[in-house]
Amino acid sequence: MVGLIYKEFVLQKRSLVILGIVYGLLTIGLFLPAATDYVDTLSGAFDVDRAVFIVLWELVMVFLGFVVITAFQSTIFEVDENTKWAGFISSSPLTGNGQVTAKYGFVLLLSAFVLAWTWITQMIAAVVFQESSGAMDLAINLFYLGLLIHALEFPFIFRFGSKGGKLFQEIFIPVVIYAVMIFVLFGDISAFGSVNTMLDALFRLLIEGEGIEMIMPIQAVIPCVSIVAYAVSCWLSGKFYLKGIETYAK
Amino acid sequence: MQNKQETVKRLIIFIVLAFALSNIPMFVIMLLGVEAHSYLYQLVALVTMCGPAIASILTRVITREGFRDMYLRMNLKGNVKYYLLAVAMPLIYGIAGGVLCTLIYGGFLQNEAFEDMTLLFYGSYVLYIVGYSIALFFPAMGEELGWRAYMTPKMESLMGTPAALVIGGIIWGLWHILDVVYSCQGKELGYLVLQIVLKCVICIAMGAILSYFTKKTKSIYPASFLHMINNNVINMMYVPFVRNETVEHHGLAFTILTFIPILILGIGLMVLLSVESRKGIQG
């Protein structure tokens, strides 16, 4: 199993280097306003409070990091979609379950590493800016949300191959976007007020914790659901692996 | 004999490195007058938690021991129950400690915090912090990699399980010394000494609990989760059971009361581990 996870690191070496560069740039981006001493200038230019500016800046960095890692993780399956390799690993003592578990383990390791990186940079940012933001809460939620998305997506990839599995993304994401659009166009959004009111509410939540009591039960449930879903998804993918091999190109 | 000498040498190198790597940065920020619980203090505390892990790796390199038996595999097969139990354990002994306090001092759900907070919010918050601790368990892993995965097995080979857990716990407790000094600033010397003794006692019990999970699963992850959840959640667990004034007026008695369930559990698991280890030797 450890060997298979090591194989993932070797095969994804180039992508990992690119990811490292992207995260390096994100980290530099995070500290850029402090290094150039422009926090006050920039927050003044955008007419926002210093704390709000830092939170906004850190949120953008965390969210960009999440998008990059989630997009990368979905591409790690293509390299193994080969009937010879699939036949070999299925007949080895590790079986197809070992292959599936290694993929899940690799994705989990990568997500945990990115989260740890984010945590450390956020802590350094707090020391540098002398301002703590709620960005880490967002990072934790995105980490578990990422696991949940993968838990839903990976069984499709194992059953129908990476091309077939992408149908999940192609269907699921537009469905969510259309649902939001329909709600915005025809639903009752008076409770949200204008975009400015929503942003105000977001910053008050992140900086002062205002309205946290509404979100906390959801935040509490997401980790439990994600962990269980990820484990169940891994088990299901193991069941689907042999059937999925039939869909690979020879 | 040669093996024993080699093990003693490795242990000494590890302990010296673990103390130096963690306590020197702490000492420096203390000299600089950095306030406890400031952002810088939190960052340094986080880094120092990784000291024992770095010490164990350095010791392995210096003594050419190699990197076997680092307990880095998850070993989930057949051990899921231990993982679940490790996550639930701090909540269980936290509630037990809280109930003990309520039985003696009263004040269930009368904490001032509940004036602005519902029980649903409190429960959700505790669960969220558990999720948070599982996701960000790596500082605790830094300690477990050193204390439980490196030091304890070596001490066991020298002096047997019970002595290893007790002496290992004392060493672990003393490793926290600057943290204790930080929290006792402005207090009398007697109070500081008492806090250090209490720290060692609780570290012996916690060390036994954490060693139990590490030995059962041959993995450091359950102990790391337990350790991190304990660090982040334990003080929160007592909130529904006591009033703030109870903590202020009966600080020491409150601390000792909350230690009792951990001590009982720790002693129980220490006995269990000792019996199993003796059976293993006889077998």
Looking at this predicted complex, what is its ipTM? 0.87
Mean pLDDT of chain A: 80
d(CA B178, CA B188): 15
Q: What is the pLDDT of residue A227?
A: 94
* Element at A229 (helix H, strand E): helix A212-245
CB contact (8 A) between residue B135 and residue A115: yes
**Residues within 8 A of A (CB atoms), B 51-90 only:** 73
Residues 6+ apart with CB under 8 A from A157: A74, A77, A164, A165, A166, A168, A237, A244
| Phi, then psi, of B250 in degrees rounded to 5 | -120, 40
Q: What is the pLDDT of residue A46?
A: 65
Q: In the numeric block, which tokens belong to residue A31?
A: 């500290």
What pLDDT digit, counting tens, does each position of B240-262 carry?
A: 999 888 888 888 899 999 999 99
Mean pLDDT: which of A130-134, A158-162, B62-66, B245-249 is highest? B62-66
CB contact (8 A) between residue B128 and residue A216: yes
d(CA A72, CA A110): 10
Task: Identify the residue among A219, A227, A230, A234 best suited for mutation to test binding to B, counting B beta carbons within 10 A and taking the highest.
Answer: A219
CB contact (8 A) between residue A213 and residue B118: yes
Closest partner residue to A217 among B117, B124, B135, by Cβ?
A: B124
Task: Tell the residue number behind the tokens 């306003």, with chain if given.
Answer: A33
Whats the size of chain B, residue-wise? 283
Q: Give the chain B residue whose CA is nearest to the CA of A225.
A: B131
Higher pLDDT, A19 or B258: B258
d(CA B105, CA B64): 55
Q: Which residues of chain B have pLDDT under 50?
A: none
Q: Span A165-188, mean pLDDT?
A: 76
The residue among A181, A178, A118 whose CA lies nearest residue A146 is A118
Q: Is B120 on the interface with A (CB under 8 A)?
A: yes
In this model, does residue A250 exceed pLDDT 60? no
Q: How far is A220 from chain B (nearest CA, A)?
A: 4
CB contact (8 A) between residue A112 and residue B138: yes
Q: In the numeric block, which tokens belong to residue A175?
A: 């469905």
Q: How far is A156 from chain B (nearest CA, A)?
A: 24
Q: What is the pLDDT of residue A36?
A: 61
Closest partner residue to A216 among B124, B130, B136, by Cβ?
A: B124
Q: In the numeric block, which tokens belong to residue B165?
A: 């857990």
Q: From chain A, pick out residues whose CB is under 8 angstroms from the CB of B73.
A: 1-2
> What does the angle CA B256 – CA B129 – CA A204 come to, to the nearest 5 degrees?
120
CB contact (8 A) between residue A219 and residue B124: yes
Q: From chain A, pick out residues whose CB is under 8 angstroms from the CB of B117.
A: 213
In this model, does residue A48 exceed pLDDT 70? no
Q: How far is B56 from chain A (nearest CA, A)?
A: 21
Q: What is the pTM of this model?
A: 0.89
User: What percentage of chain A exceeds 70 in pLDDT?
Assistant: 85
CB contact (8 A) between residue A144 and residue B131: yes
Task: Identify the residue among A114, A213, A234 best suited for mutation to test binding to B, counting B beta carbons within 10 A and taking the highest.
Answer: A213
d(CA B109, CA B22): 39
Q: What is the pLDDT of residue B18?
A: 97
User: What percentage of chain A exceeds 90 in pLDDT?
Assistant: 11
